[in-house]
Amino acid sequence: MCLRGALMIKWWLLVCLVLTGWVTAQEASEQPRPAMPIDLLSAAEQVLGLRFSESERKLMAPSLHHQREQFHALRHHTPANDEAPALVFLPMAFEPPRRPDPTPPRWSSVPVVKRPDDLEQLAFASVAELGALLRSGQVRSVELTHMVLGRLKKHGPRLEAVVTLTEERALAAAQRADQELAAGLNRGPLHGIPYGVKDLFAVAGYPTTWGAKPYADQVIDDTATVVEKLDAAGAVLVAKLSLGALAWGDVWFGGFTRNPWNLEEGSSGSSAGSAAAVSAGLVPFALGTETWGSIVSPATRCGVTGLRPTFGAVSRGGSMALSWSMDKVGPITRTVEDAAMVFEVIRGVDRRDPATVATGFAYRGDASVKGKRLGYVPAHFEGDKPANALDRAVLTQLKALGIELVPMDLPAMPLEAMSIILSVEAAAAFENLTLSGRDDEMVRQIEHAWPNVFRAARLIPAIEYLQANRLRGRLIADMQRRLADLDGYITPSYAGDNLLLTNLSGHPCVVVPNGFLSDNKPYSFTFIGKLHGEADMLRIAKAWQDATGFHRRVPPVFDPKPKQP
């Protein structure tokens, strides 16, 4: 037999042995594969809370070396922040399908409003009131925009709430709104109304800093979908407002955003500037985002109304990604109905955000809420602290409106452990920042800030991330069962783990001021709806808000109205 024939027979025998399991592929290799040092594996086990035997470590070592090489290969192709994963989170997949209600919203009637002698006295008027003045011709959008820009220039530095004024863009939009309104073209409730956006929404021609020093000079040649929708509705963008760096807290590269009720404390975050500007009467409304409390928290601290819509109800196209499966866009306003008006404009499907879904919004501003059924967790209303008294008062007020309150409990699940979903996705969104070392430029360098979280999250195993998401599916299905016979539920804003629970499940909420713990310390309460149940949730919250009036109080320092003797 020739040498070539002998070699061929030997090769085929080896292949057969590998395929039949008599020898492994590694044993068939002529040279041993590179392996990770065993002592490193033992140390890694301690970090990850695992335990393998010595023989298992030896078997794993070559594979782990190869995996590390794969990691390095992937890092040479790190996607940009605006490139989403191929996996899309859809909370509605865990609920029975339902047909969207095509009925358009119906706004409540607005009392007769007259133009004041001093236009600045409109600083705390609602969107609905300002819209009535604009449509009646008593006020022009240009002069309203000048008034708002003046207050932003005067008070913005004191609050450390303004990143960039969009003055040229705003005045051009205001002039266009005036011309259209004069010609009889009414684009809806927001036509001619000034507003601000959290500075993680791209606006062509202006910086989009994400509140972080490494991105302080960043200009993105794009405009966020929600800004485009507001443009189409005739709204007037006047400012890009501060956010805690990369959407955490109220500290950004330009300062520490202040609470208008108490300038010695922060406005909370991360929609810090949006909440502070609305609270101080610098803008009639602003857009914020929430991943885990970033609308609820600053709205509570600043005493304003905030709407966190259902995950997927509003496009995030053109906005900074922090967590692809948890980020949500919503308005911060003075009143619940203002929030409903903004939501109607910005909601809807967008090809730039594959998580968006088609739903209706059959809101009825003047409809009775008698007979509605809301759940509540009794334990969340117990105790003798002042906050508990304010919370219990809400129960009494809702009963007076004819609403039935139904005791319930919430799913018992390891929610804090499931929060690794946010950590992993955020670390992936900002991998370049971590690997480049530019995370050292971030202002906050403490344990509970993004630079440290990004680094630690790199050691979270993919298996745990997937298991957390599987539990998340169970959570959503469980919530659906508990809310099946209810119109939603109510809760003190920070009771239990409710804030994390509903951000993981994707449920919508509206947070509203419900009193004060002291003269300069607003407090809040939260109405939570079913998935894509914003219409019913907002209708109930509006009825309660109209009956109580806590939203009408304003920070005295920023009130332009003359004080009574």
Average pLDDT over residues 322-339: 98
Sequence-distant (6+) residues with CB within 8 A of 384 are none
CB 398 within 8 A of CB 451: no
Residue 147: the pLDDT is 98
Q: What is the CATH number of the domain that holds 175?
A: 3.90.1300.10
Question: How many domains does the chain contain in total?
Answer: 3
Judge whether 425 lies within some domain.
no
Residues of the domain holding 52 = 35-77
Nearest to 315 by CA among 358, 349, 272: 349
Residue 92: the pLDDT is 85
Judge whether residue 12 has pLDDT over 50: no
**Helix (H, G, I), strand (E, B), or coil: what is residue 25?**
helix
Could you give the angle at the alpha carbon of 129 between the alpha carbons of 348 and 270, nearest 5°? 50
Q: How far is CA 353 from the centre of its chain?
A: 14
Judge whether 439 lies within some domain.
no
Q: What is the CA radius of gyration of the chain?
A: 27
Same-domain check for residues 193 and 278: yes
Judge whether 131 lies within some domain.
yes
Within 10 Å of residue 143's Cβ, how many Cβ atoms? 13
Distance between CA atoms of 311 and 78, rounded to whole angstroms? 26
What's the length of the chain? 565
CA atoms within 13 A on the CB side of 171: 8
Looking at residue 334, its amino acid is: R
Same-domain check for residues 217 and 350: yes
**Helix (H, G, I), strand (E, B), or coil: what is residue 16?**
helix
Residue 533: the pLDDT is 96
Same-domain check for residues 56 and 137: no
Residue 245: the pLDDT is 98
Judge whether 200 lies within some domain.
yes
For residues 32 and 239, the model is more confident at: 239
Question: Residue 509 corresponds to which tokens in the numbers above?
Answer: 């909420």
Residues forming a β-bridge with 319? 201
Average pLDDT over residues 53-67: 91
Just list the catalytic residues.
198, 270, 294
Q: How far is CA 307 from the centre of its chain?
A: 10
Same-domain check for residues 239 and 374: yes
Judge whether 421 lies within some domain.
no
CB 197 within 8 A of CB 237: yes
Judge whether residue 1 has pLDDT over 90: no
Same-domain check for residues 304 and 178: yes
CB 159 within 8 A of CB 77: no
Average pLDDT over residues 466-494: 97
Judge whether 429 lies within some domain.
no
Judge whether residue 177 has pLDDT over 60: yes
Same-domain check for residues 13 and 129: no
Same-domain check for residues 517 and 498: yes
Same-domain check for residues 146 and 14: no
Q: For 183-324, where are the alpha helices, taking DSSP H only?
A: 225-232, 272-279, 296-302
Residue 156: the pLDDT is 98
CB 317 within 8 A of CB 81: no
Judge whether 409 lies within some domain.
yes
Same-domain check for residues 69 and 197: no
Average pLDDT over residues 481-504: 97
Distance between CA atoms of 528 and 268, rounded to whole angstroms? 21
| Average pLDDT across the chain, whole number | 93
Judge whether residue 563 has pLDDT over 90: no
Phi, psi of 477 (to 5 degrees): -60, -40
Question: Residue 285 corresponds to which tokens in the numbers above?
Answer: 């409304």
Percentage with pLDDT > 70 across the chain: 93
Residue 17: the pLDDT is 40
Same-domain check for residues 139 and 286: yes
Judge whether 423 lies within some domain.
no
Same-domain check for residues 51 and 130: no
> Which of 64-68, 95-99, 280-284, 450-454 comes out lowest in average pLDDT?
95-99
- Per-residue pLDDT of 465-479, as tens digits, reads 999 999 999 999 999
Sequence-distant (6+) residues with CB within 8 A of 224 are 197, 201, 202, 203, 317, 318, 319
Distance between CA atoms of 269 and 446, rounded to whole angstroms? 16
Judge whether residue 464 has pLDDT over 90: yes
Question: How does residue 31 score in pLDDT terms, banded at 50, 70 and 90?
Answer: low
Same-domain check for residues 67 and 130: no
Distance between CA atoms of 7 and 437, rounded to whole angstroms? 53
Distance between CA atoms of 229 and 209, rounded to whole angstroms? 21
Judge whether residue 223 has pLDDT over 60: yes
CB 381 within 8 A of CB 395: yes
Find tokens 């399991």 and name the residue: 21
Find tokens 């995030």 and name the residue: 316
> Which of 40-44, 93-97, 254-258, 395-399 comes out lowest in average pLDDT?
93-97
Average pLDDT over residues 352-357: 96
